[in-house]
Structure 1
Amino acid sequence: MWALRRASLPLRNQAFNIGTSRACCANLELPITDRHEDVCFLESCKSLPDGCLPSKRLYHTTHVSWNFFTGTRSLSSQAGAKSTGEEDDLEDGFSELETPSSAEAIPESSAKDENEDELISEPELSEVEEDVKPSQHEMELSETETDPSEKRSPKKGNTLALYKAILSCPGTSIHGALDKWVEEGNEIDRAEVSMAMLNFRRRQMYGRALQLSEWLEEHKKIEFNERDYASRLDLIAKVRGLQKAENYIEKIPKSFRSEVIYRTLLAYCVSTGNMKKAEEVFNKMKDLEFPVTAFTCNQLLLLYKRLDKKKIADVLLLMEKEDVKPTTFTYKVLIDTKGQSNDITGMEQVYETMKAEGIEPDLSTKATLARHYAASGLKEKAQAVLKDMESGNLKQNRWACQSLLPLYAELGDANEVGRVWKVCESNPLFVECLAAIEAWGKLNKIEEAEAVFDKLLKSGKKLSSKHYSVMLKVYANNKMLDKGKDLVKRMADDNCEIGPLTWDALVKLYVEAGEVEKADSILQKAAQNNRKKPMFTSYMTIMEQYSKRGDVHNAEKIFYRMRQAGYTARLRQFHSLIQAYINAKAPAYGIWERMKADNIFPNKSALVQLAQVDPFKKTAVSDLLD
């Protein structure tokens, strides 16, 4: 652990010195360098080799010194990685209702399934999300909806029958469909409910999943355990918001109000980037004397990777102090963080530490390593990792193909993409097709991408908006507006649900074609007429275009609409907004105060921006006039 923490020190060293405070400031119960931050220990320091004796709580102070520089606080969507079974915490936050029993278990595939949008854009690492994703084989079956090979139980029949009955229910309430299901003599068992929950979550139909959970408890069809309550908590947060979720905790029987409940809430706060609330939940867990676990620490690492990389070293120190062993996921986050910071030497040190600790890097960890090598122009190193991923015989290691296709495309190697695709072409999985479309799109090989997409269309399986969106993004990246429009029309003709992924691709399609106002209009209509909120990247794509134009009015409008959609303020938004004022050569009155109110702390580049839009800055002319 010491070697790992030492490797992380450059992350903290990115911060500049800002003076000394007698309050020992920190994020967690850790010693830390003096700095004015929004999170401080208010207890006295005692002698320790590294500085101060850590406190047991986090404090958010209202007084903040703004005369400082901070390290990089970039947001990213980098990391496509999957954790292995070594992380026993992966299933925390999800119920047994969502995990088929062994008799009903989905057949495992060698290839790992991806998170919701991984084949569209590389997602954030998430331990929680992984547990609710079915295997690739099950994904293939559920996409067909009518495949005769659907998993059946010899006693209970089709385990997707309940899911289909709810899915076919018109309107927004499913209680009537469930009542009818029981009246017709059908039984409710965990296997059927598990499959329904898995499919609803995979399709992001959280409202129906929540109603199913509520109906089950109300009618006492399933005896709830702590994981069932945790699942309900997660669904309430997703559908009704954080406040309702916190209120629900008080309704959970005390005997089930366990660590899993609070870890679920913590994971939700992390997934939404709500750092203040995540740290409050951590404090609550400490108050309740729950042990510090790898899952909790990994969630904090994931949060700080996105929002405040300086704090990563503090989490590692906490893990060392509490004797929490790093997991595969821990190393993945650290490797990805180093890669994002373009610290290739540090990334390699973490990778070597991982192997030295006896943890064998899995496929996705190697993929992350290769991606950052490619992004840094280290083509030979990236190729070496990719060959290692192939393990000598790609046909026997077929599960590597979906990762290799986009990575070879990152290297601009069309021959290697063609070679890997040839292994899959005769009998490809959906995920391999999507990866191939993405890869050919990166290489500007539109005909090849279209050929793979046609193979999907001719498969006889019903395509979802996720599949169409991959091809739509290829058209957007290559500024092929007419083809993109035709594809969207085809989606509508196929009764395909148009959701956030499609909106995001459409926004990019019109922005790349120079029609920013049209993209803005599409996003506004989508947000007004649908329950699902648009993706963060959709808003930022438009906002950054207005910023480039120096269109302060519309940049502020997008900033406001993001707030209305429920996105908490982030540094990236303020970067873009301030740049709009700079390009407009206009002063930004009150921008510092707005950032303070949102607990946003500027990094070095943001401070340079703020200096340019300071309405009260002194110049040679202003001094003369004064």
Structure 2
Amino acid sequence: MWTLRRASICLKNRGLSYGVSQICCVTSQNSTRHLENCYSGFAEPQEKLLDGFLSTVRFYNTSTFKSYTEMRTFSSQTGPKCSREDDDDLEDGFSDLETPHVLVQETVSGDENSDGPTSELELSEEVDADDLQKELEVLRSETVVGETKSTKKRATSAMTRVILSTPSSISEILDKWVKEGNKVTQADVSLCMIELRKRRLFVRALQLSEWLESSKHIDFIESNYASRVDLIAKVCGLQKAETYIEQIPDSYRGELVYRTLLANSVYLLNTKKTEDLFNKMKSLGLPITCFSCNQLLLLYKKTDKKKIADVLLLMEKENIKPSHFTYQVLIDVKGQSRDISGMEQVVQTMKAEGVKASTQLLASIARHYVTAGLKGKAETILKEIEGDAIKENPWVSRWLLPIYASLGREDEVGRIWKVCESNPNFDQCVAAIEAWGQLKKIDNAEAAFDKMLEKTKRPTSQHFSALLRVYANHKMLAKGKELVKRMGETGCTIGPLAWDALVKLYVGAGEVEKADSILEKVVSQKRGRPLFTSYFAIMDGYAKKGDVHNAEKLFLKMKRAGYVPGLTQYYSLLQAYTKAKAPAYGFRERMKADNVFPNKALAMQLDRASTVQKSTLSALLE
């Protein structure tokens, strides 16, 4: 890791403590030494994370569940058809959850004519400017034996068809189904869980898991228990997931179960809980895997980049070889910091270790080049992604279209979309809508949307969300309202992505109160948890108006929804006080209580707020 840590000297908070320098002497594999070096510029190790390494609620009841149709996912995993490459080394999803250790001849990937999306957003933050929230799929299907990825077809088991065909309770459906002589197998359960997760029917997936365990139709193994933990954490929260873990038999309460909970904690950006879980895993004697370390990297990428060096040092100490996803996170950290030379050094180290960059990773590099203004380098990467003929690799268009749009290359967007237009899949349509939206070609974006609807029998809110985001970005309120009305007429359930776009539509039009009322209705109906960005867009809208009261209300709502306060929220909240010229009494103390420490920008904002506070006090004394 020595090379990669050195490349980060330009980032903040550099320095090397005695504790860290002791570990630098450990001999390990070259790959981890290169990584460690890239981050040698960071500050001393954080005792909370490394104390176990360097120094040597309520119970849930599924009978109370509402018919949620979309819930959140976490971590940064692309869906199964994000690429036709071998991305098995991406470790930010749970490839083993609910996947039996038998040969499954068909999986959910590869069906380009499916009625719904099978992939999610990518890792890189450039996909969304509000980079603290991503709707990313957790589950990846197991690699199929005996088939190439290009020929895999989606399998829908009889159990899946029965569950999706009726809104009745899972137990009633399956009890009747079993009485009719049908058998329940691990393979059927695996395919059913994958399909329910893909559709984000997490409540029904949890009910299925509960029924399977109580009815004992299959023998639960660790992956089944881990999947159950994941679903409880999604639907009911971390505390109830922890409670369930205590009920799991000791022989199945292993690393997979705990790392599942760890990843859910990372999704919520709950640093203290994540670090406590990580140390608990060590105290229980569970192996420290690359997956767990990657989760920490993902967390610190969002919350505290100076801790990344500590994770890399730990990986070296534990002799953990970096995975493809490890490099992906580090490349994104460098790119977001505008440290292009450091990013390129990470890429060189990755190549030297024989790790082949996936299409997703190359697209991430290209986006960072675009952001840094290096258009020539970005286009070189895009040509590498495209290969010799886009007609032979049309699936890469989902990455090419929005990046070419960010470069202002309308000609390239048109060329690539023309290849896909005759028979596009969901991802290609969404990419085209996004690309045309960036280029302000609204008519073209609407045409791509219509093309997408032509190819689906049952449109979901995800189909509408892409165009709704375009309308929101261009403050086209009238068109947005019409699209929402059209969405309602189709009978599709509106989920978090659509709520987010709708909220931003009204905030962008200056109707912050209306956006707030929409979100309030969503929460009261208990149809799923809104995204972080939905709350934040409203809070920031109030902050820009100097509405301290409502900004504080949204800040509290975010905490109640489980979103841990961070720099982003505090910066926006402080902006409300500054705009209103109101004294922000005890602001530093509030931040400290939430374990949030100001960066340079926020410190400057606090200094300005202190000036307002002093002038207010002076006025009282006059």
Scaled by the length of structure 2, the TM-score of the pair is 0.84
Give 1:102 deviation, angstroms.
Answer: 2.1
Q: 1:248 to 1:128 in 2, by over 3 A?
A: farther
- Contact 1:336-1:368 within 8 A present in 2 as well: yes
- Contact 1:401-1:420 within 8 A present in 2 as well: yes
Give 1:476 deviation, angstroms.
Answer: 1.2
Distance in 1 between residues matched to 2:170 and 2:604, nearest whole Å: 54
Q: 1:560 to 1:10 in 2, by over 3 A?
A: same
Which moved further from structure 2: 230-239 or 125-134? 125-134
Distance in 2 between residues matched to 1:26 and 1:587, nearest whole Å: 46
Partner of residue 481 from structure 1, selected from 477, 481, 484: 477
**Percent identity of equivalent pairs:** 52
- Contact 1:25-1:37 within 8 A present in 2 as well: no
Matched, 1:514 2:523: no
1:249 is matched with which residue?
245
1:6 is matched with which residue?
6
Q: 1:562 to 1:523 in 2, by over 3 A?
A: same
2:32 is matched with which residue?
none
SS at match of 1:102: coil
Distance in 1 between residues matched to 2:112 and 2:478, nearest whole Å: 39
Distance in 1 between residues matched to 2:135 and 2:531, nearest whole Å: 20
Distance in 1 between residues matched to 2:134 and 2:552, nearest whole Å: 31
Structure 2 regions of 5+ residues with no counterpart? 27-35, 57-74, 144-151
1:165 is matched with which residue?
162
Matched, 1:131 2:133: no
1:146 is matched with which residue?
none
- Contact 1:402-1:431 within 8 A present in 2 as well: yes
1:227 is matched with which residue?
223
Scaled by the length of structure 1, the TM-score of the pair is 0.83
Partner of residue 589 from structure 1, selected from 579, 585, 588: 585
1:573 is matched with which residue?
569
Distance in 1 between residues matched to 2:333 and 2:242, nearest whole Å: 31
2:367 is matched with which residue?
371
1:286 is matched with which residue?
282
Give a deviation string over 1:477-504, Cα, whole Å, max 9, x none. Answer: 1221111111111111110111111111
- Contact 2:475-2:505 within 8 A present in 1 as well: yes
Give 1:78 deviation, angstroms.
Answer: 10
SS at match of 1:96: coil
Distance in 2 between residues matched to 1:327 and 1:34, nearest whole Å: 24
1:39 partner amino acid: K
Partner of residue 502 from structure 1, selected from 498, 501, 504: 498
1:411 partner amino acid: L
Structure 1 regions of 5+ residues with no counterpart? 44-52, 57-76, 136-148, 153-158
2:328 partner amino acid: K
- Contact 2:516-2:538 within 8 A present in 1 as well: yes
SS at match of 2:181: coil
- Contact 1:408-1:414 within 8 A present in 2 as well: yes
Distance in 1 between residues matched to 2:448 and 2:506, nearest whole Å: 24
Give 1:623 deviation, angstroms.
Answer: 12
Distance in 1 between residues matched to 2:557 and 2:394, nearest whole Å: 44
Give 1:168 deviation, angstroms.
Answer: 3.7
Give 1:318 deviation, angstroms.
Answer: 1.3
Distance in 1 between residues matched to 2:593 and 2:452, nearest whole Å: 49
Distance in 2 between residues matched to 1:133 and 1:102, nearest whole Å: 10
- Contact 1:93-1:128 within 8 A present in 2 as well: no
Which moved further from structure 2: 175-184 or 430-439? 175-184
- Contact 1:611-1:617 within 8 A present in 2 as well: no
Q: 1:407 to 1:480 in 2, by over 3 A?
A: same
- Contact 2:5-2:41 within 8 A present in 1 as well: no
1:104 is matched with which residue?
106
Distance in 2 between residues matched to 1:343 and 1:466, nearest whole Å: 34
Matched, 1:39 2:48: yes
1:54 is matched with which residue?
54
1:178 is matched with which residue?
174
Give 1:612 deviation, angstroms.
Answer: 2.1
Counterparts of residues 302-451 of structure 1 (less than 5 Å): 302-451=298-447
Distance in 1 between residues matched to 2:478 and 2:42, nearest whole Å: 56
1:70 is matched with which residue?
none
Which moved further from structure 2: 25-34 or 295-304? 25-34
Distance in 1 between residues matched to 2:322 and 2:565, nearest whole Å: 31
Give a deviation string over 1:505-546, Cα, whole Å, max 9, x none. Answer: 111111222211111111111111123111100111111111
Q: 1:624 to 1:181 in 2, by over 3 A?
A: closer
Distance in 2 between residues matched to 1:21 and 1:389, nearest whole Å: 42
1:468 partner amino acid: F
1:114 partner amino acid: S
SS at match of 2:302: helix
2:29 is matched with which residue?
none
- Contact 1:589-1:615 within 8 A present in 2 as well: no
Q: 1:42 to 1:454 in 2, by over 3 A?
A: closer
Distance in 2 between residues matched to 1:248 and 1:593, nearest whole Å: 35
Number of equivalent positions: 574
1:581 partner amino acid: Y
- Contact 1:134-1:198 within 8 A present in 2 as well: no
Distance in 2 between residues matched to 1:507 and 1:192, nearest whole Å: 39
- Contact 1:379-1:411 within 8 A present in 2 as well: yes
Which moved further from structure 2: 329-338 or 510-519? 510-519
Give 1:278 deviation, angstroms.
Answer: 0.7
Distance in 2 between residues matched to 1:311 and 1:169, nearest whole Å: 48
2:89 is matched with which residue?
87
Distance in 2 between residues matched to 1:218 and 1:411, nearest whole Å: 55
SS at match of 2:572: helix
- Contact 2:266-2:274 within 8 A present in 1 as well: yes
Q: 1:356 to 1:38 in 2, by over 3 A?
A: closer
SS at match of 2:286: coil
Q: 1:124 to 1:324 in 2, by over 3 A?
A: farther
Give a deviation string over 1:63-115, Cα, whole Å, max 9, x none. Answer: xxxxxxxxxxxxxx999898954528566474234798422334647999632
Q: Could you say what the CA RMSD is over the residues aligned between the two structures, in angstroms?
A: 3.7
Q: 1:134 to 1:447 in 2, by over 3 A?
A: farther
SS at match of 1:614: helix
